[in-house]
Amino acid sequence: MMSSSSALQLNNVSHFFGDHQVLDSVNLEIQHGSITALLGPSGGGKTTLLRIVAGFERPTHGTISINGVVVADPHIWVPPHERGISIVVQEGALFPHLSVSENIAFGLKKRRSPEARARVKEMLELVGLPDSADQRPSELSGGMQQRIALARALATQPALVLLDEPFSALDAGLRETLREQVVNILRTAGATALWVTHDQDEALSVADAVAVLMKGRIAQFSDPVSAYRNPETTEVAGFIGEAVSFSGTVEANGTSVATRFGSIELLRPQSPGPTTVIIRPEQFELVKTDNPHAVVTGEVLVTRYFGHDGTVDVRFEDGLVITARLHSRLLPKVGSFVGVLVNSQVLSFPV
């Protein structure tokens, strides 16, 4: 029976390597059946946190609970194999000398029993590879190997699946396709997953919740839309997606900000005074220089064509360069001059 408690709970988890603090009072709660992306820059502590949850590292301070049961605190230590956790790593890490079915059955008790064989068959069906039971990993593509690794991870019905940058070794096209397949597999299995990645698109597209880990702390924990549209700090705003930041002044009404682009409505009210304004590329609109609403104009430095859309770098007289994202048919010519508008509410942070 599933516990009514959260699947994973971290309370004030800190960790040091010698005198170097890697994690600083991390608090995180993951609900059953959810996919949580642990997102952050390299060196921010993601891998260390994953290893601590898995039981490969013992935290210097704090408590870790799985399904309401404490697995690590100053007095309790449950080894990795008793935590009910499975891990999918970057390149699958399948056993090359075992067949696909033997790999999937590896963590099961009585691997040769009828029950184990039935579970292996069920997992092969789940990951869409029902005819690969007798193959060796070397006979499979990289994407197929990762699906088998996921089948192995799910076979034991773990309380939690940890995915550690699972697609970083694959090319971009395969990575996107496999990402969708893996999400569907996790959803179908009703699995609870903690997905470690530095890929913002991956985190925003797969997760129910995003935990942004920066400098050893959870800088924000929210749904993906809020993480992108309503970041809580300038650091999070700058890390998740592209953004340009510049100075502005919140006006007396507290709901708009005076900027080089004119007065713009704020996404959230703020006390009047100096502020740092954050604008995403898709919030810019490029118009003709004689447009009466264009307070500023700039020169097009670079255009980048991506098929469905593109980006444009525009430089203003004072040297500031902004990047605008537009439909591909609207890309202006390099060297031309354009007016720049802001077409939606913006974020700002007090100075």
Where are the chain's structural domains?
8-236, 243-350
Average pLDDT over residues 122-150: 92
The predicted structure's pLDDT at residue 167 = 78
The number of C-alpha atoms within 13 Å of 23 and in the hemisphere containing its C-beta is 27
Instruction: Kindly indicate the confidence band of residue 196, based on its pLDDT and cuts at 50, 70 and 90.
Output: very high
The predicted structure's pLDDT at residue 63 = 97
> CA-CA distance, 130 to 193, in Å (whole number)?
24
* Burial letters 252-263, b for 16+ CB under 10 A, else e: eeeebbebbbee
Instruction: Kindly indicate the confidence band of residue 198, based on its pLDDT and cuts at 50, 70 and 90.
Output: confident
The predicted structure's pLDDT at residue 177 = 83
Average pLDDT over residues 177-186: 90
Over 50: is that where the pLDDT of 2 sits? no
Instruction: Kindly indicate the confidence band of residue 92, based on its pLDDT and cuts at 50, 70 and 90.
Output: low
Residue pLDDT, tens place only, 202-248: 899 989 999 999 999 999 999 999 999 999 999 999 899 889 899 99
The predicted structure's pLDDT at residue 1 = 34
> CA-CA distance, 116 to 308, in Å (whole number)?
47
The predicted structure's pLDDT at residue 241 = 86
Smallest Cα–Cα separation from 301: which of 322, 284, 328?
322
> CA-CA distance, 270 to 250, in Å (whole number)?
7
Average pLDDT over residues 137-143: 90
Average pLDDT over residues 191-203: 91
Residue pLDDT, tens place only, 294-333: 999 999 999 999 998 999 999 999 999 999 999 999 999 9
Residue 144 token pair? 């197929």
For the chain, the average pLDDT equals 92
Average pLDDT over residues 192-207: 91
Q: Could you tell me whether strands 35-39 and 209-214 are parallel, antiparallel, or unpaired per DSSP bridges?
A: parallel
What homologous superfamily does CATH list for 243-350? Nucleic acid-binding proteins (2.40.50.140)
Handedness of CA 37, 42, 43, 44 (dihedral sign): negative
The predicted structure's pLDDT at residue 174 = 77
User: What CATH code is assigned to 8-236?
Assistant: 3.40.50.300
Over 60: is that where the pLDDT of 289 sits? yes
Over 80: is that where the pLDDT of 113 sits? yes
Over 80: is that where the pLDDT of 164 sits? yes
The predicted structure's pLDDT at residue 89 = 84
Average pLDDT over residues 116-141: 93
The predicted structure's pLDDT at residue 155 = 94
Smallest Cα–Cα separation from 211: which of 56, 35, 64, 51?
35
Q: How many helices (H) and strands (E) does the chain have?
A: 8, 20
Q: What percent of the chain has pLDDT over 90?
A: 79
Average pLDDT over residues 47-59: 95
Average pLDDT over residues 150-161: 94
Instruction: Kindly indicate the confidence band of residue 21, based on its pLDDT and cuts at 50, 70 and 90.
Output: very high
